[in-house]
Amino acid sequence: MKKEIIETLSNGYVMGKIKCIVESKVETKNTTVFEIEKFDLAIKKSLLQIAKLKESNQNMQDYLSIQELMISDPSLTKQVHSFIEVNNVSAKDAVCEVMAEFMDGLKKSSSSYLKERSTDMEDVLNRIVENLNDVVEKKESEPYILFTKTLYPSYLIANMHNILGIITNYGGYTSHTAILCRSLDIPFVVCDGDFVENSLVIIDTRKGLVITDPSEDEVTRCRINMEKRGSFEKKAIAHPGFMFLANVSSNLDLSRVLDYGFDGIGLYRTEMIFMNTHRPYSMNEQYEIYLETVQKMQGKIVCFRTFDVGDDKQLPYLKTFKKGIDNYKNNPILFIEQVSAILKANIYGNVRIMFPMIESKEEFLYLKRWVLKIREENQYNMPKIGMMLETKEALEHIEEFSDADFISIGTNDLTNQLYQISRDDGIDRMDSYFADLLVKLKKVVKFCDDNNICLSVCGELASVTNAAISFYKIGIRNLSVAPSAIRMLNMVYDEYQKIKE
Ligand code: PEP
Ligand code: MG
């Protein structure tokens, strides 16, 4: 039987047996002192589990640190203790009540960043409750396709080596689980209805289908196709005249960028490293980080985007403004120090500096002048200086940006501004605006060709198969995607070459 995928959160093609996640058992109430001790023990266990996970999962450090902070928050412990004492309830009831209140507060926030933190908190709550229930995590020996109503990142992290794919009834494209699945290359889809434990299913995101109880023919076809896909294993195929670029958010992604054969980094989201501390990084600290990146990339392009804060990206130590240049004008030292650190790290001369959320030529030239001034004063290598094209204003006046060495299209913000597409919307909404977007982007391609400006796309649409093929078709040669999307890039490139022939 074929079920249509309602939404693809992470692409892939797999076949395996279904495992359904079982709900945790219900807890009974004991004496108040016992419940408090039990809660404290569950907190300790949870922290130990996270510490262990951190050791073995280098690329999950940030996410796990957030969990650690939430679990060790003294106000959580204080409130749960007092809830148990005052209401004479079980530790489980108390922690559920207290955390529900925290989560409610976050969910009501207008910031999508804070809204997402409520999902992290649900995950934390699950871990604590599991430890209260003393549920021992059972390691599955056979890889399986997981079916669950909702999935929390901690389960995924603990079981990722056995999970072939995930089917869920609810889930958002920018949820942490979806982001982790894309980075781990695990297909993740939203589908209606239930699935039977141990039944065989095929997930095929290209066709938008989940096949339950496949026929012998379908199983054979799937095996052949999977073998074919294997030839597109995580290594860039030859792609002359095109650039396969990677989006990275920390130096942890770097090894994969090189292993998979990317031509360089098309978008380094520097604000992500700023989010890891409770104070701004000094110029020297930043320099060390950027230098490590540049050295590891061994002369390949490294495009650092100057910190892009505001809206959903807030820093605890910085007053931020609407995303864009105001953040630099109001925090000039941070901007100057960042540019100085990037320029100093430009040892091979292949560094690009890219400004986000540019609205006008004046803004671009103002920032460019700063970069040139710092470069000249210190006799650093000359970087390429470019901008993201992600505002309505810049798109409308694209012909004014002939001073940019390169332009990278940020489809996430651009589609938000043009079509009110939020980051939580599914890519299925793409049908309603994509044709219009392509018409607009064709003009950008022409302008860049006429002015010899290197053009790329670095928003999430670059890793959506149909969108990526369309970008190739209108003449965009450079796509910048999460490292795990290398297989998608290979397939898109291959398909585009066949269409051309
Ligand atoms: C974009 O807007 O498409 C983009 C790549 O930038 P951000 O970091 O805001 O997603
Ligand atoms: Mg953006």
411 lines ligand 1 (CB under 6 A): yes
Torsion region of 379: left, alpha or beta (phi above 0 gives left; psi -120 to 50 gives alpha): left
Which of ligand 1's atoms lies nearest the C-alpha of 411?
A: 3
pLDDT band for position 22 (cuts 50, 70, 90): low
Rounded average pLDDT over 122-133: 87
Q: Please indicate whether residue 28 or residue 301 has the higher confidence score (pLDDT).
A: 301
Q: Please indicate whether residue 131 or residue 469 has the higher confidence score (pLDDT).
A: 469
321 C-beta neighbours (distance < 10 Å), count: 16
pLDDT at residue 192 is higher than 50: yes
In DSSP terms, 302 is beta-bridged to 265, 351
pLDDT at residue 119 is higher than 90: no
Find which of 169-173, 197-201, 248-252 is predicted with most confidence, using mean pLDDT: 197-201
Share of the chain above pLDDT 90, in %: 54
Which pLDDT value is given to residue 278? 77
Residue of 247, 268, 269, 421 to mutate, ligand 1, most atoms within 8 A of C-beta: 269
Q: Which residue's CA is minimally distant from atom 10 of ligand 1?
A: 412
Which of ligand 1's atoms lies nearest the C-alpha of 412?
A: 3
Rounded average pLDDT over 54-63: 75
Q: Please indicate whether residue 436 or residue 136 has the higher confidence score (pLDDT).
A: 436
Which pLDDT value is given to residue 29? 57
Q: Which residue's CA is minimally distant from atom 6 of ligand 1?
A: 410
Residue of 308, 389, 427 to mutate, ligand 1, most atoms within 8 A of C-beta: 308
Which pLDDT value is given to residue 87? 87
User: What is the C-alpha to C-alpha distance for residues 176 and 121, in angstroms, rounded to an integer?
Assistant: 12
Which of ligand 1's atoms lies nearest the C-alpha of 414?
A: 2
Residue of 270, 322, 430, 458 to mutate, ligand 1, most atoms within 8 A of C-beta: 458
Which pLDDT value is given to residue 230? 66
Rounded average pLDDT over 340-349: 97
Which pLDDT value is given to residue 24? 40
Which of ligand 1's atoms lies nearest the C-alpha of 267?
A: 5
Ligand 2 centroid – CA 56 distance (Å): 31
Ligand 2 centroid – CA 114 distance (Å): 18
**Pair of tokens at residue 268:** 């380094």
Which of ligand 1's atoms lies nearest the C-alpha of 461?
A: 3
Q: Please indicate whether residue 118 or residue 371 has the higher confidence score (pLDDT).
A: 371
**pTM (2 d.p.):** 0.66
Q: Is 14 helix (H, G, I), strand (E, B) or coil?
A: strand
390 lines ligand 1 (CB under 6 A): yes
User: What is the C-alpha to C-alpha distance for residues 23 and 115, in angstroms, rounded to an integer?
Assistant: 24
Average pLDDT, the chain: 88
Which pLDDT value is given to residue 136? 47
417 lines ligand 1 (CB under 6 A): no
Which pLDDT value is given to residue 14? 92
Which pLDDT value is given to residue 105? 82
In the numeric block, the tokens 């204080």 are attached to 78
CB 402 within 8 A of CB 444: no
Which pLDDT value is given to residue 174? 62
